[in-house]
Structure 1
């Protein structure tokens, strides 16, 4: 008989989550494997987040007086929890009824796996238009492509044995982004990580182009310092390196066309390379939404890659000039016991 943990603590970090929290909590309480406790850590919201959390009598609400970011909120939830397994759910996610049960089954059947995370469905929590559709299609595809044993956990929908935190510590509270990548790097050599296609949720993703690009620019600034600290092989990558390189070349070679019109062939070739860099992704989008949306998808994807490149460049400079920028602790060395 396989062992299924009796006590599971759900930890939901929330900040200004009035739009989605009710749907999130309703889905959590509808799990086929009922959690032992549900903890909402409100990170100094200025909307009705706390009021909505209090609509659910079984919720343990932990309000913060100041906003400290998702890493600190998750750590606070871990400290307050009592379960043998901590199931993290972001406040803008509504897990499928069997999400927790499926995660626990992987933990039970695979003893060397201590962390199971899941994927976003292509159907949104609330349908907000084409930009959100782009985000969800891309997020679903790259996760589905990488299911199985991985070195990176995405904690938006993630079950972790408590012993992991006893061993490697919690999230780095100095990070406002990439905190899951940094923690994964400390985990991966001693605690197996599994990405499961059977642990799913509907997600309310970014729906406006400029705010999405601004968020990608900000988050990608931590790519360089976090990558420098990585001790093991590279973890999950949402974008193919060839596509990122082609996007950079398309912009980098554009000024050449101002010197000689014939040189506009260089950025044109780079754009073509970008379009065909991930044929599997293109086929996936084409099957789901058709050729017109594929054109929109590729154009939006190009802008996202450029935002990531720009953010990584700025982050690299900041990392070289600001000793406090980036992770506050060294990653766990490979092979440590």
Structure 2
């Protein structure tokens, strides 16, 4: 990392050539908020690169209203390809990957640079999601935001897992580890984390905060959870879980949610079984009492029943998705197969896929789809 230090409030302020790389596909609605948050940084970025993945909305027009470079892909290639294109065009010493549906807190870039400077062994620092949504679109969005904030906050500290929705890494580290796997449009963070954590330390920090525009529609949210969960067991069979890996949902929560879903219709048909779903809900609540206390402190007791109901539905989808994925892996040995190898260089200077599109990690079911 190059640069010097200049006086600033509370001590010397680090300076560095930070290239902010923003992959984008049809996020014109939030891209303006994302780019606006970069104008307010206490450490201004050296450059901002919007790597547009063949958007069909007004994203490019929005980006061009700001002082940033715009890269346009001829066809949609996914979030991994968009990040790789942005990183290849970047000229800074530090790459800060930022999703286009997020807006950074004003001190995020400065804190990221400071943390990397304080520990030369760090290969990546990444941040948490704010407790308030970037755009308030109703109760489903609040559920998603509060849950995402809580489990990330619990995981603050050294971890083998990196999320690149708001993450900084020295350019030299990125060049050493290699590009994102362009075959992955989903959970690309998990595959990249394995390569990165094998060589460098990773830090999840609450000094980098980004407000996120979560999914606010119930149907799409549940379908996403079901789809991603199908790769849980195949991925877990191919990859050993590293100590300290982040978890969005507990095994007890998933099991008790499924128990509740199965026993509820039975209790309707056979009234003597009515205590069973009640027991299931009690077990589900006991799986993460700290989460419920946090939600109550943020939104009040009146929001708790809705939150628990939505959280239970999500965990049922995870259980059903995992079961479906297990059956599919029995019928098709290639389903969800992963090698864990980095993308291999090709004769054309690109990379060949090492992991199938859609592969998802065993611990986290809360990421953004590219």
Write the mapping of 1:197-236 to structure 2, written as runs, cut at 5 A.
Answer: 197-233=206-242, 235-236=245-246
Tell me the matched-pair count.
Answer: 331
How does the TM-score come out when normalised to structure 1? 0.91
Q: Is the 8 A contact 2:15 2:43 kept in 1?
A: no
Check conservation: 1:172, 1:327, Cα contact below 8 A.
Answer: no
1:89: how far off?
Answer: 0.6
Cα deviation 1:259-317 (Å, max 9, x = unaligned) = 74323433321221002211100111111111110111000000111122222233333
Distance 2:136 2:265 in 1: 39
Say if 1:246 and 1:176 are closer, same or farther in 2 by CA, change over 3 A. Answer: same
Q: TM-score, normalised by structure 2?
A: 0.83
1:24 aligns with 2:34: yes
- On the 8 A contact 1:218/1:311 being kept in 2, the answer is yes
- Among candidates 6, 10, 32, match of residue 20 of structure 2: 10
Matched, 1:81 2:90: yes
Say whether 1:265 aligns with 2:275.
yes
Contact kept, 8 Å, 2:127 with 2:209, in 1: the verdict is: yes
Deviates most, 62-71 or 151-160: 62-71
Secondary structure of the residue that 1:210 maps to in structure 2? helix
Instruction: Find the partner of 1:168 among 168, 174, 177.
Output: 177
Give the root-mean-square deviation of aligned CA atoms: 2.2
SS at match of 1:28: helix
Q: Are the equivalent residues in 1 in contact too, given 2:103–2:212 (CA < 8 A)? A: yes
Aligned position for 2:251: 241
Is the partner of 2:69 in helix, strand or coil?
A: strand
Query: Is 1:178–1:223's contact at 8 Å kept on the other side of the alignment?
Result: no
Deviation at 1:256, TM superposition (A): 5.0
Q: Which runs of 5+ in 2 are unaligned?
A: 6-13, 343-370
Distance change (3 Å), C-alpha of 1:322 and 1:44: farther
Residues 48-69 of structure 1: CA deviation (Å, up to 9, x unaligned): 011111112x311111122221
5+ long unaligned stretches in structure 1? 333-337
Distance in 2 separating the partners of 1:324 and 1:84: 40
